Homo-oligomer: A and B are copies of this chain.
Amino acid sequence: MNTFGRIYSFTTFGESHGPAIGGVIDGMPSGLKINLDRVQAELDRRRPGQSALTTARDEKDRVEILSGLFEGITTGTSIGFIVRNADQHSRDYEEMRTIYRPSHADYTYDMKYGLRDHRGGGRSSARENISRVVAGAFARQALETMGVSVYAYTSQVGDIALDKDYTQYDPQLIETNPVRCPDPATAEHMAELIKQVKADGDTIGGVITCVAKGVPAGWGEPIYGKLNARLADAMLSINAVKGFEIGMGFDGVSHRGSEMNDAFVPGGKGITTLTNHSGGIQGGISNGEDIYFRVAFKPVATLLKEVVTVDRDGHGTLLQARGRHDPCVLPRAVPVVEAMTCATLLDAALLARTTRL
């Protein structure tokens, strides 16, 4: 399935080495003046080649909007967009036609479909994220009119982790370093680790923390469309993500209810909570506090050293990946996490309008 969302939804297409990546955004409300430069700027944050920490591929990734805007304003009709592929070195991938890279999607695609476009990962390439970032960038501009802002940052690379919670970091500092970590000193250590891993032809995982501020109480469906479940679905749909936790998450399980409960207190604009261990969602519905969650990324599967694997016929073989690959996806995954969060929240915002008579 290539569609995400119920009302604000998007449907994507595109293989890494095909003519283009793109998609269709549906359910965008009418009447919003769109800043297309900001949409492009989000894509630029995801683009490879931004720093020495990421792949050297030079992808321009210029988005072309094909519909849905009239004189710069959303019309409520679907928004088609494409990003042409370029700078492809398809020959780098010829071996992968018959050889399965370990922990990649090569084997499972073959088992599911009986064939696959092996060039550059084909449909399973992280270039698919381009479409998510575009859909998220539109959603973000709609959310801003509702007072909602979303940011994410790299909170862990390998075993180097930020040790304080999100409230202790200044989001303004995230973009000051190529790791996208709001603590510059830690960012430097992370950068060192990534460079070292890269020098070894290896890869490393990490954690991204995401925060949504300004979400009013009442968004999210209470049973199967719980807002936390939608966010988990959104995050686990991103390549390499292996875990999701909201609020206190896994750490909360060892505490008692009397420690974990968020006491209600009278607040400025109504009722608020003293603490926010819940991460802004209770019973699947936002409670007006900050929403925050953490997303675990495994290390990238494609190593730049020779690995033992098998081919389609099950024969053992050696594989030396050539292409150009990130030693660590975290820095470039930050805008993807933000994008999926924005799309999920705008969908919830629109659904929330249907709730009361």
Contacts and interface: CB of A to CB of B under 8 A. Distances in A.
12 contacts: A14-B67, A15-B68, A19-B65, A21-B67, A103-B261, A204-B256, A242-B246, A242-B247, A243-B243, A250-B296, A258-B305, A353-B353
Interface stretch (A38-46, A53-61, A183-191, A276-284): A276-284
Given A22-B80, A111-B217, A256-B197, A7 B354 contact: yes
Nearest to A118: B70
Contacts of A66: 13-14, 18-20, 22, 82
Given A3-B11, A278-B103, A222 B77 contact: yes
Given A233-B233, A249-B296, A261-B301, A357 B29 contact: yes
Interface string A310-323: 10001110000000
Nearest to A103: B261
Interface in A286-325: 286-288, 296-303, 305, 307-310, 314-316
A117 B203 CA distance: 49
Given A254-B158, A257-B301, A261-B303, A271 B13 contact: no
Contacts of A156: 253-254
B13 A283 contact: no
Contacts of A282: 103-105, 107-108
Interface size on A, as a range, is 35 or more
Contact of A31 (B244, B310, B357): B357
Contacts of A24: 2, 11-13, 23-24
B78 A13 contact: yes
A236 interface: yes
Nearest to A128: B223
Interface string A60-93: 0000111110100111111110100000000000
B107 A258 contact: no
A234 to B, nearest CB: 8
B258 A77 contact: no
A112 interface: yes
A161 B298 CA distance: 23
Interface string A111-138: 1111111000011100010000000000
